[in-house]
Amino acid sequence: MQSGFGMLEMGSAAKGHEVMIMLKNVYDVVFGALAYYAFGFGISWGSPSNSFMGLGRYFLDITSDDYQNTGVVFSSFIFQFSFAATSTTIVSGCVAMRCRFEVYCLYSFYAVLVYAFVAHWVWASNGWLAQLGVHDFAGSGPVHLLGAASGLNAILWLGPRRGRFDGTVPREHFKPSSPENILFGLFMLWWGWIGFNCGSSFGITGLRWIVATRAGVTTICSTAGGGSLALVYTKIKNRGKRLNAEEVANGILGSLVAITATCACVHPPEARAGLVDLDIGF
């Protein structure tokens, strides 16, 4: 998914900015991994913990009296880290072409820490949002909403790209460099996302594999809807003349974001007995 996202951003950026955007995505993972290893995992999933944050497992500390948890801790680190890296990467698209590389590196480190708190609130059994009954299957809140809020914040702070709206730089300079790359990135993200939502059932034991397959089905159906609507939208907007690859990609990605939280709860129309999942705590 990181590859697909990098490709999509690279294609959307104006000519001359592609390499810098890919480098930002690379250091997103690098500094995200450092931050998540050192503090993030402990904040989200450490034990002991209170409703606000975890207090253990910093630096993946596994003491000798709980070594039998090694496998569980390590596997959840790998899976949870992929969430954390996704969350920070969202902002790289927002600040593309208008943020210094060094500042972005600092941000990557910092954003993982912010993410870690919110993930604890929503997903840890004693997080305060979880206690209030919040249900988020695969991360619409801690991943997508948080990423989008950070991105909006960054945009408001940085202001528009120089010359973008005051007419001093011709509009062609801001055109996406490669619609082909946008669509290729879309494909990689799309299939990755289906796997991501399926994988969020945290296993295939017991009845969980049913939840995983339902998440896959609703994700596929959701993008069918998002893609159809994007087609209608781009046709009307461009008066039936041409399709805009960006608008299509955004329609499909929007539907993927929208289904992420609920992909295991909603059911395809008519698949009524899908309600079985209520029995297994999802």
Query: Cα 218 vs. chain centroid, distance in angstroms?
Result: 18
C-beta atoms surrounding 18 within 10 Å:
20
* Residue whose CB is less far from a second copy, 171 or 272: 272
Residue span binding a second copy (CB under 8 A) among the ranges 88-96, 126-134, 154-162, 227-235: 227-235
Rule CB under 8 A: say whether 61 interacts with a second copy: yes
Q: Binding to a second copy by residue 186, rule CB under 8 A?
A: yes
Q: Which stretch binds a second copy (CB under 8 A): 1-9, 91-99, 126-134, 148-156?
A: 1-9
Q: How far is the CB of 135 from a second copy (least distance, A)?
A: 19
In the complex, what is the shortest distance from the CB of residue 254 to a second copy, in angstroms, rounded to a whole number? 13
Q: How many residues bind a second copy (CB under 8 A)?
A: 76
Chain residues 66-95 in contact with a second copy, contact rule CB under 8 A: 66-68, 70-71, 74-75, 77-78, 81
Site for a second copy in 84-143 (CB under 8 A): 101, 105
Q: Does 169 bind a second copy (CB under 8 A)?
A: no
18 contributes a contact to a second copy by CB under 8 A: yes
For a second copy, the closer of residues 159 and 203 by Cβ is 203
Of 26, 106, 152, 280, which lies in the binding site for a second copy, with binding defined by CB under 8 A? Answer: 26
Would you say 248 and 230 are in contact if contact means Cβ atoms under 8 Å apart?
Answer: yes
Q: Does 202 bind a second copy (CB under 8 A)?
A: no
**Per-residue contact track with a second copy, 236 to 275, x per CB under 8 A?**
-------x-x--x---x---------------xxxxxxxx
Q: What is the 3-state secondary structure (H, E, C) of the chain?
A: CHHHHHHHHHHHCCCCCHHHHHHHHHHHHHHHHHHHHHHHHHHHHCCCECCCCECCCHHHCCCHHHHHHHHHHHHHHHHHHHHHHHHHHHHHHHCCCCCCHHHHHHHHHHHHHHHHHHHHHHHCCCCHHHHCCCCCCCCHHHHHHHHHHHHHHHHHHHCCCCCCCCCCCCHHHHCCCCHHHHHHHHHHHHHHHHHHHHHCCCCCCCCHHHHHHHHHHHHHHHHHHHHHHHHHHHHHHCCCCCCCHHHHHHHHHHHHHHHHCCCCCCCCCCCHHHHHHHHHCC
Q: How far is the CB of 225 from a second copy (least distance, A)?
A: 8
Q: Which residue number, 7 or 261, has a Cβ lying nearer to a second copy?
A: 7
Torsion of CA 48, 51, 55, 58, to 10 degrees: 110
Q: Is 216 in the site for a second copy (CB under 8 A)?
A: yes
Residue 97 vs 243, nearer CB to a second copy: 243
For a second copy, which residue of 14, 30, 130, 265 counts as binding (CB under 8 A)?
30
Site of tokens 């007995």: 273
d(CA 35, CA 26): 14
Interacting span for a second copy (CB under 8 A) from 62-70, 123-131, 154-162, 163-171: 62-70
Neighbours of 15 (CB within 10 A): 12
Residue (105 or 149) nearer to a second copy, CB:
105
| Residue from 15, 16, 19, 153 in contact with a second copy (CB under 8 A) | 19
